[in-house]
Amino acid sequence: MNKNDIKILLVDDEPDILEIVGYNLKNEGYEVYTAENGLEAIKAAKKHIPHLILLDIMMPEMDGIEACEKIRKTKSLENVIIAFLTARGEDYSQVAGFEAGADDYITKPIKPKVLISKIKSLLRRLKTEPENEEENTKIGDIVIDRDEYVIYKSGKKIELPRKEFELFSLLTSKPGKVFKREAILDTVWGNEVVVGGRTIDVHIRKLREKIGDDYFKTVKGVGYKFVLKGQDK
């Protein structure tokens, strides 16, 4: 995909951030849109359907966490990449960001060149999206619909955010195999994207809540595996 075709929505209530970061993004050739709060972000996202949203947390009208949650529930925006760009560096803020559906969490201040590098890394996922997925995959009582990013468990539809679906797809690609944490981060989040160590744990917990605790086994100090009921004795 050509840079000029990539749309980025920058959301921040600080005019200086919008100006400086926006300038650097435009200088790279991206098409940039801006918003100053969560409500404006949702409206702009629905209107422009960006490939990437850079979202601040502390904003008037609606904060970034709530905006992220609402964006993730919007059908036309379910595949947009969302990264928080915020001065909030606390662990609980990062956990909240990932639980809201973010793909990455970037802490300000950050040098423009480093930010651009992170953005390029995030956008590489657009190039690696498969054009023609295989037909639905059935594993036990679970059917995986890769085109719609949903799964069906015993006929019941379960919608998953992008990262949860990609993590689930990875683990179910080889039931019973233990996937090391490093391999999971590399495959699902990209080896150039720096995310906190709790990121995988947060997503596994969400999958357990939605699909069932028995399907996911923790191998302490190593990683996680997917198992079918009755097969992990």
Mind listing the pLDDT tens digit for each residue in 141-196?
899 987 777 899 888 899 888 889 999 999 998 888 999 988 888 888 775 555 66
**Per residue in 104-137, pLDDT tens?**
999 888 898 999 998 988 888 775 444 444 557 8
**What is the reported pLDDT for 162?**
84
225 forms beta bridges with 217
* Environment class of 39 (CB within 10 Å of its CB; exposed 0-12, middle 13-18, buried 19+): middle
The answer to whether 230 and 214 are in contact (CB under 8 A) is: no
For the whole model, what pTM was predicted?
Answer: 0.62
